[in-house]
Amino acid sequence: MMDELELLKKDWQKKEEHLPKLSYDAIHKMTWKKSSSIVKWILIISVLELVLPNLLLLLFVGTEDWSNTNLGLMKNYYLAFNVLYYVVVLYFIYQFYKRYREISVLDDSKNLMRKIIKTRKTVKNYVIFCLATILISFAFYIIGFYIDESILLNFKGIVEKAKEVPLEKIKITAVWIFALAGILFALFMGGVYFLLYGLLLRKLKVNYTELKRLEV
């Protein structure tokens, strides 16, 4: 049986004359265009992920409501928690930068894919950390309500409400609201993230699996 590929190879090399031909100017213009590669997208999404939660936090902390909030007995824990949070965020920024710099189009295909997946893993860990932080923050409040009523009373309108309804009941309602809000918020953020990356890296994952499958 004749090797079909050999036949194709002969024809393939004759094909050159049928290929499009771009002018010097057309190519020159292209060098000024912006890349829309997945690496670029990972960078954009990651920077947003780093900036947005912290921006929200800063806006929240900056409001009068917050500065008036007396965290009571929880204050020191909260401060320590915050310091720890920013140390970890800085660590993630450093890690991400390092991984991002390692990605090179000059690598062989398998290595390139491996490095992109590694970079994505860093982002994934960061998102998990962020989600955990959100949940812990809400848990902080819930615990706070129990050990120090003044935290609850500091919320707008609670003092007036407490005159009509027993404080115990408000406490239970607040705990439920915070617990549900925390879980919903985390689920929403997580959902958006996994959808975004799932779509972005679907092709890469298929190809990487294919290349890895060759090695066994």
- Residue number with CB closer to another protein (123 or 151): 123
- Residue number with CB closer to another protein (45 or 158): 45
List binders of another protein among 22-61 (CB under 8 A): 22-24, 27-28, 30-31, 33-39, 41
What whole-number distance in Å separates Cα of residue 194 and Cα of residue 197?
Answer: 5
Place of tokens 């320590």: 80
- Residue number with CB closer to another protein (30 or 58): 30
Task: Please report how close the Cβ of residue 165 comes to another protein at its closest, in angstroms.
Answer: 54
Task: Please report how close the Cβ of residue 33 comes to another protein at its closest, in angstroms.
Answer: 6
Which listed range, 50-58, 73-81, 183-191, 200-208, lies at the site for another protein (CB under 8 A)? 200-208
The site that binds another protein (CB under 8 A) totals a number of residues, namely: 50
Q: 213, 145, 216, 155: which is closest to 179 by C-alpha?
A: 145
Output the CA angle 199-204-208, nearest 5 degrees: 140
Which listed range, 80-88, 119-127, 183-191, 206-214, lies at the site for another protein (CB under 8 A)? 206-214
Show the binding pattern over residues 78-117: x = contacts another protein (CB under 8 A), - = does not: --------------------------xxxxxxxxxx--x-
Between the alpha carbon of residue 161 and those of residues 71, 132, 178, the distances in Å are 20, 32, 18
- Residue number with CB closer to another protein (167 or 200): 200
Q: 22, 13, 52, 38: which is closest to 198 by C-alpha?
A: 38
**Residue 187 binding another protein, by CB under 8 A:** no
* Helix and strand counts by DSSP (H, E) for the chain: 10, 0
What whole-number distance in Å separates Cα of residue 192 and Cα of residue 169?
Answer: 35
- Residue number with CB closer to another protein (29 or 169): 29
3-state secondary structure of 36: coil
- DSSP string for 109-137: HHHHHHHHHHHHHHHHHHHHHHHHHHHHH
Which positions touch another protein (CB under 8 A)?
3-5, 7-9, 11-13, 15-16, 18-24, 27-28, 30-31, 33-39, 41, 104-113, 116, 200, 203-204, 206-207, 210-211, 214-215
